Every structure is written in structure tokens, then in C-alpha cells.
Structure 1
Amino acid sequence: MFYFITSREDLLTSAIELAQVKRMHIFDYLKVKSSIVTLQYNWAHYQVEKKLGVTDRVINLFQYFQQLPYHYDDDDQVLIDQLLKQPGFQVNGLVASRDGNQRIIAHLNGPRLYYVDYRDRFGFTDRRDFYDNGCLTYTEFFEDRSRVVTRQYYDGQGRPKIVYHYRGGEGNSPVLCLIQLFDQGNWWNFDDEAGLRAYFMDRLAGADSQAVFISDRSDYTMKEFTLMHEQLPRYQVFHSAFTEDGRPNSKLFAVYDPVKQALVDGQLTGLISATQQEAADARQRFATPASYGIPVTYIPDAVLQKKVPFDRRKPGQLIAVARLTNVKRLDHLINTVILLHKKHPDVNLKIYGYDDEWNNYATSHALKKLVQDKQASGYIHFCGYEHDLTTVYETAQLEVLTSSYEGFAMALLEAQGHGCPAVSYDINYGPAEIIKDQVSGRLLPAGDVHALYTVLDELLSHPATLKDYADHAQAVAAKYSFEHVAGRWQDFITAEASRGVQHLAAYAK
């Protein structure tokens, strides 16, 4: 089985996790078994797996060891009553009091019980029990300065299964110092989460003689791979550029520093990039023949065959599909649209993407303040995250991308697949392989704001050119059809099998 490894799946699903789901569909088509592996605790596992259509196909580290009997459709009121209605306590709503002091307090997450605080006679929280779909999942114990000292995860019988130990650090912050796991009749000890994850992945590999790991989150696997004992093929996917500025010979992102040595030591078997250009650059930078360019997504045939009349597209409607983070350089686009609005009063920009948490949402706050200060909120809109952008792509006149670098630029392909022309900086990686310049859109010098204004002004002034680009967009996107991308994955499997990589021969056709 192929295991696609990530941190976790969220309801606001990132492009990486969406790519994993699409890859799973391809492997189903190829009749190759696959599962998604998640390494973080995930409260939304039931909802997000149902939303993504991967129910019972995700292996989570904590669920693997805990084996809790979840109650997905149950009302937690009976459980809440059992916890609050203790002898000598008076219950009022979600609070149980004794001698006038609140001692047990239940907290909800939507309709479900989330956690319960237990306070001592001085009002300090000594213990906090967390619940997951009706099951007690773990407890946090606190010391007198409200720092967590122990987090204890339980199995289905309420017995401790995983125990995190903390000690006080600077600034009253707890520092993880030890993890214990009870498994196979023994208590195993790990200094950090990397050790626990490596043990978990060894358990998966040890139970599957044909296991192949594909890591989609290097910050959760690079160290872990070096700690593993089982021998199996392990590949790293580059979902973004591997250097800090997207140039192949620039400074590597720190998480990729160990890649070259890991390839030499056999802790990593090969690399997978989303574009042919990045695969070629990675092959040279990391000195490995096992570097493959495979698109991270595909356009379904039903989308490619659907014809969207150009008159359905709203004149002047521009869209950007990007999270609100500095690397997307949305300020370039916002300032350009503000200038365009003076000449094209019908221009309208809608930005779809969630706020990036980095530096306390600094980029998000700055972008929104820019729009407010320029009194542009009537025609520049922050629309947040949307799972299905079909209508957005089919009613916009242009998708615009202004990033510093990308790994693939999935939104450009999705726009083209829906017949929406695209304008993008010609950056590494993706735009030049997705857009056919002056056929389905335009490629601009990277970071050239003047060119951005000039081209957008030209296209808004000549809707016939936009219509011509729209008429060609789906034909250009057709090289990313489901069948084509599936063929690339089969080529990868066959090529690796021919290199003599263990386990891959079983999947080669």
C-alpha cells in the first residue's frame, strides 16, 4: 500500500491535503491501494473525512493507538449530566458548584462536549478532560502556575495509552521533555514527537510488506525518516519551491537541508515535484536521478467538456485564489486594481483564501487596512475560504496570480479548466507550464507591477481578447486531464521498479 503522509486534514482544507485526496482517486483508478496518514491530533476528523470523501481511509497516529469507540451521532447531554451531577454539587447549566464555588465546568464545541474543567477550592484548574465524539480522549494536569505538566491520552477502556510529560520553561511556558507510549505490552519512551512518529511509521511499515511512503509534509517526516528502523521506499513531495526565493540555486528552506544526505544514506528514496521544471532543478540540486515531475492535481473530464458562455462572465470581475500571506504579494494586485478603478469603474476584485496565522495575522491585517485606507472596499472584497469555486471560476473574466514563488499554482489550472483566462507573474514554479502565453492568458515578468497594470488595462479594454483566451483555456488545461496525470503516476511506479527499488515491482504494470 502507498501511504500519503501529512500533518492533519482541516475543514479549511489546504491545497496539500486536497492534492492527497485527488492522488488517492488516481491510485484507485490504477488499482493501487492507498491510505492517508495524519500525525497530529484532529478534532474534526469525522466531519472533514466525510466532506473530502475519505471516510475510513485515513490512519491517524492517535486514533491508531487509542482505538476509541466514537459516538458520531449521539447527543452528549446524558454524558454531561453524568459528569456534573455529583453528590453535594448544585448544577446550573454547564456548571456544577459546591459551597458557592464553581468546581466542574463543561465546555461545548458546537453541540458536542469539548472539555471539562475541574477546579480546586481555591479556584485553580487542576485537571481538564477532553472529549472527542462522546469519548474521553485525553486529560491535561496543571501545576500551581497553570502550566500543563502532563497530557494523558486514553484507550477505549479509559487506560493511559500515550503520556506527554512537561517541565517549566522560560516565560511560564511548558517544555515537552518525555513521551511514553504503551504498545505491544511495553512502555516505550521518546524524547520528542519525532521519535513517537517514527515508531508509529515503523509499525505501519512492519505490518505491510509492500509499504511505500510518500511524504507531503517534510517538517513532519524528514527527521522521522532518519529515526525509522524499517526499510521501505520513501519519497518527498515538493509542494512549493525548495528554496527561499524559488530560484533553484538559492538558499534552501531549512527543512530541506537534510534531503541530499538522506538520499545518500538511503533514508529517502526519491523526490517528486509538481512541475517538470522543478523536477529537473531538484535532480541537479540534490544530485539524484530519482526526481519526478507529477502534477499535484487534475481537471475532471466533465469540467473540461463543459462549455461556459463568455457572456456569463461578469465584465471587470477579477479573482485571486490565495491565502492572505506575504509570499502571495496580494498588495501588488490590490494596488494595481485601485489604479485600474480610475479608468475602469466596473473593475471588481474578489480574493478567496483564508487568513495566514503567521505573525499574528500581520499580512491579513495589512492588506485589509490597505483596502480600507484607500476606500476601495466597494470593489475589493476578501471572501474567505470556499471549498467549491466552480461558480467563481465560471463567472470571472480573469484569474490573477502575483506570488513570489509557487510549487504548482493549482488555482491557475482550476481557472483554466473552467475556461477562465489567467494572468500571472512568470515565477518558479507552475505558471509557464499551465498558461500558454497569449493563447489562454498572459505571463508577466516576475514582480513587474507596471507590466501587471499595463496588461490588465489592455485586457479590460479589449474583451474580445479575453473571449479568445477563454475559448482556448480548456484546451490548454487538457494536458492535466485525469487520465494524463494517472499515466504520470504509473510511469513513476514503472520507472522506480526498473531502478530496482524494493516493493515498487509489485505495483508496476
Structure 2
Amino acid sequence: MYYFVNEYLYDKNSGIEHAEFKRLQLFKHLHVPAKLVTREYNPMLHRIMAKFGLGRDEVVNMFDFFQRAVELDTDQAKIQRAAINSHYEIDPDPTISKVYRGDLLNSRVLFIAGTYGQLNVVESFDRYQNLIRAEQWDWRGFKSCIKYYDADRKVIREEHLNPEGTVVIEAAYGRDGIAQSDMTYIRLVNYQGEDYYFYNIEELFDLFLSELDKQQTPGENTYIADRPLTTYKPVMNIPGTSRKFIYLPMVQTEAEANDKNRSYILATGKLNPIYEYAFAKKNIDKLSGIIVATKAQQADIADRVEKIIHADVPVIAIPAATVPGPKTTTIAKKDQIIFVGRLGNGKGIVRLVDMFQQIHNKLTSLKLLIYGYGDAEESARQEAKNLGIEDVVDFKDYQVDLKSAYAESKLFVTTTGTDVEPLAMTEAASFGLPMVAFDIPYGPREVIHDGWNGLLFRDGELKEMAEGIVALLKDPQRLGEYGANAKRTAEQFSDGEIGRLWQEKVIMDGVRK
């Protein structure tokens, strides 16, 4: 079994999760069993899985595992299941129903948004109207967690239940907050006849992965840790002979403070702290390999592993991006260009707006569509307003299905300074969109061939990028040629090509061993 190890799945996900979704589908086509592994408790997980087309046989969550709910069918829990005292008065509401004992609020029943009366949370209050307890219901219709609160409405304790209502995990929280990372005491109750005690969720995750390794083909599984901060260490420390890989999804070194070119030298640069454990000499030999997205990454990291760490660990280049292949569409193009990606600080979203303002001065009817979410959205919106172009810069939020958006746009543009092979870039190429980006480490150059399927500029050359885009959009013949070549590029990232790389470099290598 192949396990792609991550921390969570949300309604809005990053490129790491989307790369895993694509990899799951790819492995399915290759007839290689694979699952996505998540750590965080999320009562809406299986609703989210359905949103992204994931079946219950494709995801295994740590809490589901210990709650013995991995294979649970989906049901709908309605208010009758909340066991409300029949002598109390209910003030019904489709969003939040209130339950009164005389004149005092006894409880509130919150329903899942977008459903007809499906239980989400049942809150209980004391005589002074303090929230003291909340029962959390799983999307699949069982009471999965009970949270207890202090006078400041902070969670102080949790009980996680199996579908039969038995407590299987108890957790206490510290003073820092109510994030799951703040758990300071955990008891795994009567697991295989014994109680286990942990100081934090990381220790529980360690046990979970080691137990998961015993489920199918013990010692013969393959783990690929996808999220650096939370999955590298637990995967590398799984006991036994199963293979362990880490996937490097982003730039791994810090740019020097006086480096105006923002060069990130993986071979010799200062390592980002989130990678220090994996690249420590005493740990790196635990790995069966390091997987990266681009050949440039591969060369530099292999150099670092050999010359600085003095280790013998294979570095394998397999693009994170994969598309079914070039798309054929009859949808008419609109006067718009598109960006797709996380709107994070450092991703260049504000300067994308600045650059587009220069384009708008020459092409006044052109629109910029920005698909994504993140901390930089508010700043970018304000910048568009400050520049007087808010009516032609359209923030479209996070969308799962972008087929129409790609098909209707004229080109894909990004001004990010720190991204390795944006997945959206190859998706855009498959729809025949020319691509425009800065020539940054380590990805765009392996997708964009300047003057053939798009345009590359030195990082920070906003004026030059704007002028290049204007000239390209004013030249329909060249735009069409770039678009046709973009589709040829997409063939290099097709499921067939990327599947072949996985087969040759990871899957068959494991079979031979």
C-alpha cells in the first residue's frame, strides 16, 4: 500500500492537497493501491472528501482509525437524536434551534449549513448561561466528540467517541488556544486492551502510523510524507522495513538578506528550519528517497546530500503537476487573463495587481480574474481600489472546478517569487493558455519556454512583464501559436507521462527491492 501522508483536508486546500488528489487518481489508473493519510480531527471530513471526489477507501484519518469509523456508512442525524428532554421547550429554527428550561437557555442545536436539519453541534449551558459542553456530530451521523469549556469559553477537555458512543480518546488542552496542536495530554482508551498515554498529538500520530503499517502487507508499504512541518519526522520514524520518502513541495532554503536576485540555492543555501530534521545527517539515512518536482531541484538537492550531508540517498524528480492531457473546447474566449493559486503573503498577489494596472492603461477592456484564497487577498483588493481598477480585477475566491475559467481566458499569469511548479500552470497549458511568469527557482522554466509557449521575465520586472503581455495580446497570431505550443507542453505532464515516471522511479524500484 502507498500512503500519502498529510495533516488535514479542508474545504479550501493548498497545492499540496491538490497534488495528492491528482496522485491518488493517477495511482488508481496504474492499479496501484494508495490512500491519503490525514492527522487532524474534522467532523466534516467525509463531506469534504465527497466534494473532491474522494471515496472512503481513498482516505484514512487518524481519529477515524481509532474511532473504528473508517468504513462507516453515511447517515443523517436529525434533532431527535440529540436526546432533548421532552419537558423542555424548543424554539425551532433551520439554522440554530434553542432549547429552554423555563426562562433559562438550556441548550442550542446547530445544524450543518446546506442541509435540512442535519445535526452539527449541540451546546449546553449552565444556570448562569455559561457554555459548558458541546457535542460534535460527524457528517456521517454519529456523535463523535464532546468538548468541555472553562469560564472563558476555552476548550479544556475533549472526549472522542466511536459510533457506539464509547469514549476511545480523551484529550486535555493547555493555555495557548484550542488548536489541536495545543493538546497537552491524550489518553487512548482501551486500545487493543490497553490504555496509552501521550503528551501531544504528534506522539499519537507516531503510534497511528506504526499501527497503520501493520494493517496491510506489514513492513512492505511505502510512505510519502507531503507536508514538511508535521509529517516528515513521524514518517521517517515509522519502525520496520517499509519504504519512507519525503516530497519537497516548495523552495527549501532562505534567500540571503543582501541578495537582490532572491536566489535560493538548494545546494549550499541556509536550510529552512522546517526541513532541518529530515536533512540532519543522523536522520536522512532513514529515507528511501527524496522526491522533488523539478530537475533543477533534483540537481541542487542531490549536490547538497552528497557534498554537505555526505549521505547516499536518491533524489528523484517527478512533477507534482499532472493533467489528463490537452483539452479540446469550443468555448469562446473572453477579454480576460487569469491567475490561479494561493493568495499568500510572498506569492506576489499585490504586485500582480500593480502589474495589471500597467496593462489596463493600454487594454482598458481586459479583466484580470484571480482565483484563490489567502492572507494577501485583502491587501490586493485594497491595492486594486487604490489604483482605481477594482472594476476590472475580479477576485473569484477558491473554486474546485475551473474548466470554464481556463477555457474562457486568453492567458495565465503569475508574479509569484517563491513557487515550485505551480499546478495551475500546467492546467492552464492543457487548455491552450500561454503562460507568463517570473523566472524564479525552481519551476517556471521547466514549464514555460520563453517565446514559444509563453513569456519569462526576471523576478521583479513588472514593467517589462506588462509590456510583454500587452504586445502578446495585441498579436492574435502569436497568441494562437503560443497556445498551441502550450498544449504540446501539457502532453509532457499528462497522466501517462507522469505515471511512467512513478512506475520507473518509485513503484518498480520497490518491487525489485
Q: TM-score, normalised by structure 2?
A: 0.89
Deviation digits for residues 374-413 of structure 1, max 9, x if unmatched? 2211211111111121222122111111111212111111
Contact 1:11–1:44 (8 Å) recurs in 2: no
Instruction: Spell out the pairing of 1:266-285 with structure 2 (5 A cutoff).
Output: 266-285=285-304
Output the amino acid matched with 1:50. A
Tell me the equivalent position of 2:379. Answer: 366
Tell me the equivalent position of 1:247. Answer: 265
Contact 2:437–2:444 (8 Å) recurs in 1: yes
Q: CA deviation at 1:11?
A: 2.7
Deviation digits for residues 61-80 of structure 1, max 9, x if unmatched? 00111124856342513224
Output the amino acid matched with 2:74. Y
Contact 2:133–2:146 (8 Å) recurs in 1: yes
Tell me the equivalent position of 1:295. Answer: 319
Tell me the equivalent position of 1:203. Answer: 211
Contact 1:399–1:422 (8 Å) recurs in 2: yes
Tell me the equivalent position of 1:23. Answer: 23
Output the amino acid matched with 1:90. E
Output the amino acid matched with 1:99. G
Q: CA deviation at 1:479?
A: 1.2
Tell me the equivalent position of 2:111. Answer: 108
Determine the C-alpha separation between the residues in 2 that align with 1:60 and 1:236.
19
Q: CA deviation at 1:243?
A: 1.9
Distance 1:376 1:292, change over 3 A: same
Distance 1:398 1:265, change over 3 A: closer
1:76 to 57, 78, 82: 78
For residue 206 of structure 1, give the secondary structure of its aligned residue in structure 2: coil
Determine the C-alpha separation between the residues in 2 that align with 1:212 and 1:25.
17
Distance 1:367 1:305, change over 3 A: closer
For residue 48 of structure 2, give the secondary structure of its aligned residue in structure 1: helix
Tell me the equivalent position of 2:89. Answer: 90
Contact 1:163–1:179 (8 Å) recurs in 2: yes
Tell me the equivalent position of 1:501. Answer: none
1:177 to 181, 184, 205: 184
Contact 2:210–2:239 (8 Å) recurs in 1: yes
Deviation digits for residues 411-437 of structure 1, max 9, x if unmatched? 111111111111110111211111121
Greater mean deviation of Cα atoms: 226-235 or 16-25: 226-235
1:140 to 136, 147, 152: 147
1:128 to 121, 128, 134: 134
1:409 to 412, 415, 422: 422
Tell me the equivalent position of 1:233. Answer: 243
Determine the C-alpha separation between the residues in 1 that align with 2:112 and 2:136.
11
For residue 8 of structure 2, give the secondary structure of its aligned residue in structure 1: coil
Instruction: Spell out the pairing of 1:413-432 with structure 2 (5 A cutoff).
Output: 413-432=426-445
Output the amino acid matched with 2:91. N
Tell me the equivalent position of 1:500. Answer: none
For residue 346 of structure 2, give the secondary structure of its aligned residue in structure 1: helix
Output the amino acid matched with 1:297. A
Output the amino acid matched with 2:171. Y
Output the amino acid matched with 1:314. K
Contact 1:140–1:151 (8 Å) recurs in 2: yes
Using the aligned pairs only, state the percent identity. Answer: 24
Determine the C-alpha separation between the residues in 1 that align with 2:488 and 2:442.
21
For residue 427 of structure 1, give the secondary structure of its aligned residue in structure 2: coil
Q: CA deviation at 1:262?
A: 6.3
Q: CA deviation at 1:258?
A: 1.1
Is residue 154 of structure 1 aligned with residue 142 of structure 2?
no
Contact 2:358–2:463 (8 Å) recurs in 1: no
Contact 1:274–1:294 (8 Å) recurs in 2: yes
Determine the C-alpha separation between the residues in 2 that align with 1:75 and 1:477.
45
**Uncovered stretches (5+) of structure 1, i.e. residues with no partner:** 498-503
Tell me the equivalent position of 2:328. Answer: 306
Question: How many residue pairs align between the two structures?
Answer: 485
Is residue 118 of structure 1 aligned with residue 124 of structure 2?
yes
**Uncovered stretches (5+) of structure 2, i.e. residues with no partner:** 256-263, 307-311
Contact 1:168–1:174 (8 Å) recurs in 2: no
Output the amino acid matched with 1:313. K
Contact 2:338–2:370 (8 Å) recurs in 1: yes
Contact 1:70–1:135 (8 Å) recurs in 2: no
Distance 1:400 1:484, change over 3 A: same
Q: CA deviation at 1:9?
A: 2.1
Distance 1:144 1:313, change over 3 A: closer
Contact 1:27–1:34 (8 Å) recurs in 2: yes
Q: CA deviation at 1:161?
A: 0.6
Contact 2:284–2:313 (8 Å) recurs in 1: no
Deviation digits for residues 148-170 of structure 1, max 9, x if unmatched? 22111011221211111124469
Determine the C-alpha separation between the residues in 1 that align with 2:292 and 2:413.
23
Tell me the equivalent position of 2:260. Answer: none
Tell me the equivalent position of 1:54. Answer: 54
Deviation digits for residues 62-106 of structure 1, max 9, x if unmatched? 0111124856342513224xx32344x222222222231101211
Determine the C-alpha separation between the residues in 2 that align with 1:91 and 1:9.
35
Output the amino acid matched with 1:143. D
Contact 1:349–1:380 (8 Å) recurs in 2: yes
For residue 158 of structure 2, give the secondary structure of its aligned residue in structure 1: strand
Determine the C-alpha separation between the residues in 2 that align with 1:175 and 1:405.
30
Distance 1:226 1:420, change over 3 A: closer
Greater mean deviation of Cα atoms: 469-478 or 44-53: 44-53
For residue 477 of structure 1, give the secondary structure of its aligned residue in structure 2: helix
Q: CA deviation at 1:348?
A: 1.3
